[in-house]
A and B are shown apart, each in its own frame.
Chain A
Amino acid sequence: MAQHDIVIIGAGLAGLRAAFEGVTAGLNTAVVSKIHPLRSHSCAAQGGVNAAINPADDWHHHAYDTVKGADFVGDQDSIDMMCAEAPQAVLDLDKMGCPFSREDDGTIAQRAFGGQNFPRTAYAADRTGHAMLHTLWEQAIKYGVHVYDEYFLMELTSENQRATGAVVMDIRTGKLQHLQAKAVCVATGGYGRMFAANTNAMTNTGDGIAHAMRAGAPAADLEFVQFHPTGLLRSGILISEGVRGEGAYLIGADGQRFMQKYAPNKLELASRDVVSRSMVTEINQGNGKNGGVFLDVRHLGKHLILERLPQIRQLAMDFEGVDPIDEPIPVRPTCHYTMGGIRTDKLGQSIALKGLFAAGEAACVSVHGANRLGANSLLETIVFGKITGKDMVDFVKNREGRDGVATDSTHAVAKVSARIAALKARPREGGVRQSSIREALVNEMQENCSVFRDEARLNSAWSAIKAAKDGLSKMYIDDKSEAFNTDLITALEMENLVLMAEGTVATAMERKESRGAHSRTDFPTRDDEHWMTHITAGYDPATREVVLGRDAVRITGNPQYAPAERKY
């Protein structure tokens, strides 16, 4: 057992930014991560981070673009706060040493991103997330954040609706430990691995959200899954929206641009949900090749490609065998980001479990509503990492968190230990391999719960969820050892991913309208009268099923934010 003031699960941008607040406020702050912090998937974010830094820009416009991009189901107070705080949050990172790209006069350079009225995306070449993550890791070293490197979250513990800590496993030795904390923050990212085609790291299995649900903190907005228009056709590896920001075209098999049919003003830079639907429509109408269309940068010229898109070019060459200087890149809409997460108040605390906080993709604050704007995810991590971090500090210093809650660590560890023993004891004979559960699940989710959905498809997906849950009860592992048992880890991740998939399908069935990334062909229009609400998804340990509820969208009364038709 170990005691900390603040324990943060996840060492990506949101987790490390929150840790910075904890440690610089003088609190005993620990970060737990199943992979080394620099391996966190924040490092893969390419394009940039939105902030109204330019004097000609205005954060109110950024906020409006975000409210509209969210298809009016984002929480307006959080959105206002995020956009108002954005410039300072970016300048904080700059001051810490993040090498943001510059204009001639030394100011931070900004580029155009989709769904926005101003080029307000700050960037560090085409590896913005990587540069930011390394910078925050450097700060964690500087200030001495205690990092539990390669420790896996086994359970979030609570007493009387109050978070008390986390049971974690030291992956290197297999030993379990209860970390007690006055405040716990989940910053474990999303769960995009439930789709066959995705841009996500193999580690993005929704661990923290699933455990929060089990501990009594419901998730929300799980039905809203973002399909990024430009994943590489074969591998799903991400090609940044920044490429379209630099002027790339989307073309069909016929070699012609097609976005003028769907978004006559913004064209390739319409909101991501709009572009993805357009691409799938083109493919369905026969204008695709091998299930994809093409991203064309040839007209940008060799010089610009080499200077501004070097990493992108390398990815296309390595994973698609195409040099974008000479040939268009085969792409298709690919699961990229999960808008859903642990439902929190506007400062990041769970609406149900006191002392449990969430930040970044694992949270549903909700600044993205039904559809996230490009470059608002990095922004969310650094703004809400900071805000939630500060709120945790306040919670620990001045509020309920002052008094720790007595908790039985021995019991908590024993319970988890028994679960592991049971999993290891499952026989191969008559059992199910985790790879077969995963394969069936991700293909079904891709086929029936992705860009376009309807009742029949969702019913099929629901049957697949039941089959996956049944499979989990028979899932066996080959590796029975203690040290570095990645077989065990991936099995436990599968349990988390299946719960997240159950929540995603259940909420997608519930929401009988089309809004943002949730597009039901049987309910093709937005229905503000019935569905201007978040759908929550909790977990009932008795039935072992997801239970749905509602949580109101937080409205500020700003008349400009009144729902209107979304046109790009």
Chain B
Amino acid sequence: MQTAHPQTTTLRILRGTVTNGKLVQQNQDFTIPYDATTTVLGALEYVKGEIDGSLTFRRSCRASICGSCAMVVNGRSRLACKTKVIDILGGNEAKNIAAASVAVGEANVIEVGPQRNQPVLKDLVVDIEPFYKKVKEILPYVQEGPEKEENVTKDSFSQVNMVSNCIMCGACYSDCTAMVENPSFIGPAALAKAYRFVSDPREGNKTERLKELSEKNGIWDCTRCGMCIDACPKGVAPMEAIVKLRSLAMEAGITHTEGAKHAMAFKDDIATWGVLNEPFMLLKTKGVMGAIAQIPNALNLAKVGKIPHPFPFDHKVEGLDEVKAIYAELKKNPLDVKTKAADSGPGAG
């Protein structure tokens, strides 16, 4: 649908070159024509084709299935081929936590930059090797082993299908906040891939996998911020997969990790008192020495009012009986992990 006088807007691209191992980045503005169907990828192609062939980005399928063109557009990681110019300009985006947390850019300007949490090679191209190295670490293939089930049914792959939508574009990895704090964190895409195998009835080493995933930089390093769910262009919801892996790991008795102990302490507190008791949780999670080591942190937090009253026994929680009844009910009728975590988006506890 071409119009006679196409509208134009500014495409602000964060360009970068690496010279002698040092990255130098600078914004460059281009004026691009657009209509109702122009995508950010189309705009980038326009710039490369008509104005500056040296503009560098990855792209291939144009149909949001190959995963080449994930980049940061107006603060969020997305596929350029799936992101329409008018939707960005018109603020036509679904309102969600991630969008609200990102500063709104200048009006009538589309800001494009390379993915985060990965080294930039040139302009919008990042080094994808570290990302794939982590995916390979989870041994991404169905393994023979004692837990292999021979029977497959119509519903056997319902969980597999949820995560096997993943196109490995890296958008979740780019927007992962846990990665910022801990670059060794294996990341949402690799963990979603891991869940693809753990939930496959044909997989032979499910428990072994859960043990590995429970180790440092694995499932317990996710902060459950939910950014990966918002970033994913294919609806994979990596964080949900992570939550399910945690539940499965605990069900399998893999409870020696700080993450698992923390989760159990959390549950114990709620079931017992109806509220959290941070000092005791710390003790249960990290042990006596670990807890002592955290005292300076705790004092700092207490100073700025971030720790509630340290003595839990003063609390009288209303409705504690109801909380206890819920736990008793859950004990009688345990939920299937796979459905239990289905609605575990940000803020769902």
Asked if B154 and A201 make an inter-chain contact with CB atoms under 8 angstroms apart, the answer reads no
User: Given the complex of chains A and B, what is the CA–CA distance between A487 and B154 in angstroms?
Assistant: 48
- Tell me the chain A residues, 307-342 only, with Cβ under 8 Å from chain B: 315, 318-319, 321
- Tell me the chain A residues, 449-502 only, with Cβ under 8 Å from chain B: 477-479, 481, 483-487, 490
Q: A38-B167, A125-B161, A479-B53 are in contact. Are A102 and B156 (CB under 8 A)?
A: yes
Distance in Å from the Cβ of A132 to the closest Cβ of chain B? 11
User: Given the complex of chains A and B, what is the CA–CA distance between A162 and B320 in angstroms?
Assistant: 82
B residues near A202, Cβ cutoff 8 Å: 59-62
Distance in Å from the Cβ of B35 to the closest Cβ of chain A? 10
A residues near B141, Cβ cutoff 8 Å: 96-97, 138-139, 141-142
Interface string of A177-216 (1 = CB under 8 A from B): 0000000000000000000000001110000000000000
The interface stretch among A232-240, A270-278, A399-407 is A232-240
User: Given the complex of chains A and B, what is the CA–CA distance between A81 and B200 in angstroms?
Assistant: 32
User: Given the complex of chains A and B, what is the CA–CA distance between A478 and B65 in angstroms?
Assistant: 30
Q: A35-B68, A202-B60 are in contact. Are A99 and B160 (CB under 8 A)?
A: yes
The interface stretch among A39-47, A511-519, A524-532 is A39-47
- Tell me the chain A residues, 97-146 only, with Cβ under 8 Å from chain B: 97, 99, 101-106, 109, 124-125, 127, 130-131, 134, 138-139, 141-142
Asked if A435 and B50 make an inter-chain contact with CB atoms under 8 angstroms apart, the answer reads yes
Asked if B161 and A483 make an inter-chain contact with CB atoms under 8 angstroms apart, the answer reads no
B66 close to chain A: CB less than 8 A: yes
Asked if A41 and B54 make an inter-chain contact with CB atoms under 8 angstroms apart, the answer reads no
Distance in Å from the Cβ of B6 to the closest Cβ of chain A? 15
User: Given the complex of chains A and B, what is the CA–CA distance between A97 and B193 in angstroms?
Assistant: 13
Distance in Å from the Cβ of A198 to the closest Cβ of chain B? 10
Q: Chain B: how many interface residues by the 8 Å CB criterion? A: 49
B117 close to chain A: CB less than 8 A: no
Asked if A141 and B140 make an inter-chain contact with CB atoms under 8 angstroms apart, the answer reads yes
Q: A99 touches which one: B132, B154, B161 (CB < 8 A)?
A: B161
User: Given the complex of chains A and B, what is the CA–CA distance between A201 and B41 in angstroms?
Assistant: 13
A434 close to chain B: CB less than 8 A: yes
Q: B60 touches which one: A130, A203, A290 (CB < 8 A)?
A: A203
User: Given the complex of chains A and B, what is the CA–CA distance between A139 and B61 in angstroms?
Assistant: 23
Distance in Å from the Cβ of B202 to the closest Cβ of chain A? 6
The interface stretch among B94-102, B121-129, B180-188, B240-248 is B121-129
Distance in Å from the Cβ of B227 to the closest Cβ of chain A? 21
Asked if B157 and A99 make an inter-chain contact with CB atoms under 8 angstroms apart, the answer reads yes
Interface string of A221-249 (1 = CB under 8 A from B): 00000000000001101100000000000
Q: B152 touches which one: A102, A127, A318 (CB < 8 A)?
A: A102
Asked if B63 and A238 make an inter-chain contact with CB atoms under 8 angstroms apart, the answer reads yes
Interface string of B128-164 (1 = CB under 8 A from A): 1000100010011110000000011110110011001
Q: A43-B66, A127-B65 are in contact. Are A484 and B53 (CB under 8 A)?
A: no
A397 close to chain B: CB less than 8 A: no
Asked if B66 and A486 make an inter-chain contact with CB atoms under 8 angstroms apart, the answer reads no
A residues near B53, Cβ cutoff 8 Å: 433-434, 477-479, 487, 490
Closest partner residue, chain B, to A488 (CB atom): B53
A36 close to chain B: CB less than 8 A: yes
A172 close to chain B: CB less than 8 A: yes
Distance in Å from the Cβ of A148 to the closest Cβ of chain B? 13
Q: A131-B164, A235-B37, A479-B54 are in contact. Are A38 and B49 (CB under 8 A)?
A: no
Distance in Å from the Cβ of B63 to the closest Cβ of chain A? 5
B165 close to chain A: CB less than 8 A: yes
Q: B61 touches which one: A41, A103, A125, A131 (CB < 8 A)?
A: A41
B residues near A103, Cβ cutoff 8 Å: 154
Asked if B122 and A484 make an inter-chain contact with CB atoms under 8 angstroms apart, the answer reads yes
Distance in Å from the Cβ of A305 to the closest Cβ of chain B? 16
B327 close to chain A: CB less than 8 A: no
Asked if B37 and A201 make an inter-chain contact with CB atoms under 8 angstroms apart, the answer reads no
User: Given the complex of chains A and B, what is the CA–CA distance between A479 and B125 in angstroms?
Assistant: 15
Distance in Å from the Cβ of B28 to the closest Cβ of chain A? 13
B residues near A484, Cβ cutoff 8 Å: 56, 121-122, 125
User: Given the complex of chains A and B, what is the CA–CA distance between A99 and B154 in angstroms?
Assistant: 11
Asked if B153 and A104 make an inter-chain contact with CB atoms under 8 angstroms apart, the answer reads yes
Interface string of B39-69 (1 = CB under 8 A from A): 0000000001110111011111111111110
Asked if A43 and B167 make an inter-chain contact with CB atoms under 8 angstroms apart, the answer reads yes
10 smallest CB-CB distances across A and B, nearest first, come from A435-B49, A97-B142, A478-B53, A479-B54, A487-B53, A138-B141, A201-B60, A201-B61, A484-B122, A142-B141
Query: Which residues of chain B have a CB within 8 Å of any CB of chain A?
Result: 1, 17-18, 36-37, 48-50, 52-54, 56-68, 82, 121-122, 125, 128, 132, 136, 139-142, 151-154, 156-157, 160-161, 164-165, 167-168, 200, 202
Name 8 A/B residue pairs within 8 A (Cβ), A-sorted. A35-B68, A43-B65, A96-B142, A97-B141, A104-B154, A127-B65, A478-B53, A483-B122
